């Protein structure tokens, strides 16, 4: 509305078996594009006519655009994350040593690929299913560690930024992701969860004096990048930010 574009952004719940039919229907109805979320990001990538190189490497898309009858898939989660880190902490992702928890999930994979693309000074991957972290680490020339408190403790001593890409922390009853005593004031801690706005991890990190950021900035920037894909113009970032507040 702010840009006076006579279109709507609406939510649709699509069952996994209906994804292909839904994409055909949105093409027929002359949608400009779509954002795709859980659980469709991988399946949608396989239904695209074209993927950009980054989305192809990840094997998952969150942003689709219809272009002269072709369905083009992109992944704006990764670049949205890089912009979020720059905005939250005033530093470029590439200069940081990063520990990523939940590297095997949809968002985690996109973030891992983005860290590799940014040539992070160090990239350490952890995932509950450890084979996923090992496979991805091999692909990205990163380091994989065990999903254990001891492994987290050693890794934390040698990183600048810790990222939670698991859903752990969405519920009050969730066990703590990292032992609070391991968190230090010189760490940057980013949780991609945005509901609640302050997870236990962020609370513990703030209590330790660390700088913290939550997933609202990533949500904002992946959305702004999607807007740019659909409309070939800069996104009204401040209006979008205010809408999320
Ligand atoms: P996903 O593909 O289902 O991945 C979930 C990840 O979390 C996997 O690595 C999984 O490990 C791990 N995990 C799940 N439960 C766990 C537990 N109890 N203990 C340890 N690890 C656990 O989900 P996703 O799409 O990546 O989303 C993950 C979270 O990020 C959600 O909270 C979502 O809302 C949020 N998100 C935020 C943004 C944003 O813009 N801020 C964007 C996307 C997602 P395994 O591989 O071992 O199962």
pLDDT at 145: 98
Instruction: Give the SS3 label for residue 90.
Output: coil
Q: How far apart are CA 55 and CA 101, in angstroms?
A: 21
What is the reported pLDDT for 187? 98
pLDDT tens for the 245 residues of the chain, in order: 999 999 999 999 999 999 999 999 999 998 999 999 999 999 999 999 999 999 999 999 999 999 998 999 999 999 999 999 999 999 999 999 999 999 999 999 999 999 999 999 999 999 999 999 999 999 999 999 999 999 999 999 999 999 999 999 999 999 999 999 999 999 999 999 999 999 999 999 999 999 999 999 999 999 999 999 999 999 999 999 999 98
**38 Cβ below 6 A of ligand 1:** yes
Q: Which of 169, 157, 155 minimizes the C-alpha distance to 215?
A: 169
Residue 122 a catalytic site member = no
Strands of 12-78 (E only): list them.
33-35, 50-51, 63-67, 70-74
Q: Is the CB of 108 under 6 A from ligand 1?
A: yes
Q: Is 218 in the pocket of ligand 1 (CB under 6 A)?
A: yes
Distance 107 CA to ligand 1 centre (A): 7
Q: Sheet harboring 70-74: ordered strands across?
A: 33-35, 63-67, 70-74, 50-51
How far is it, in rounded angstroms, from Cα 142 to Cα 140? Answer: 5
How far does the centroid of ligand 1 lie from the alpha carbon of residue 68, in Å? 34
Express each pLDDT in 9-63 by its tens digit.
999 999 999 999 999 999 999 899 999 999 999 999 999 999 999 999 999 999 9
> Model-level pTM?
0.96
Take atom 34 of ligand 1 and give the residue whose Cα is closest: 193
Angstrom distance (rounded) from CA 242 to CA 65: 25
Among residues 20, 41, 132, 171, which one is catalytic? 41
Would you mind telling me the total number of residues written for the chain in this entry?
245
Two structure tokens written together for 169: 């922390």
Residue 36 confidence (pLDDT): 96
> Would you tell me how many other CB atoms lie within 10 Å of the CB of residue 66?
18
């Amino acid at each position: 509305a702010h840009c006076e574009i006579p279109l709507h952004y609406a939510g649709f719940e699509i069952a996994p078996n209906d994804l292909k039919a839904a994409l055909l229907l949105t093409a027929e109805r002359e949608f400009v594009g779509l954002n795709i979320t859980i659980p469709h990001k991988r399946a949608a990538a396989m239904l695209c006519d074209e993927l950009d190189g980054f989305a192809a490497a990840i094997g998952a898309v969150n942003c689709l655009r219809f272009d002269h009858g072709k369905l083009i898939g992109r992944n704006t989660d990764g670049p949205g994350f890089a912009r979020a880190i720059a905005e939250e902490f005033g530093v470029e992702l590439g200069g940081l040593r990063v520990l990523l928890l939940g590297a095997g999930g949809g968002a985690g994979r996109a973030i891992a690929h983005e860290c590799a693309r940014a040539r992070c000074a160090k990239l350490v991957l952890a995932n509950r299913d450890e084979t996923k972290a090992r496979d991805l680490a091999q692909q990205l020339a990163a380091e994989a560690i065990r999903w254990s408190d001891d492994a987290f403790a050693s890794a934390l001593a040698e990183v600048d930024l810790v990222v939670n890409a698991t859903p752990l922390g969405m519920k009050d009853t969730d066990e703590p992701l990292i032992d609070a005593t391991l968190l230090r004031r010189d760490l940057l801690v980013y949780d991609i969860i945005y509901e609640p706005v302050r997870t236990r991890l962020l609370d513990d990190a703030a209590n330790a004096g660390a700088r913290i950021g939550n997933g609202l900035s990533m949500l904002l920037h992946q959305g702004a990048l999607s807007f740019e894909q659909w409309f070939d113009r800069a996104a009204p970032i401040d209006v979008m930010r205010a809408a999320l507040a």
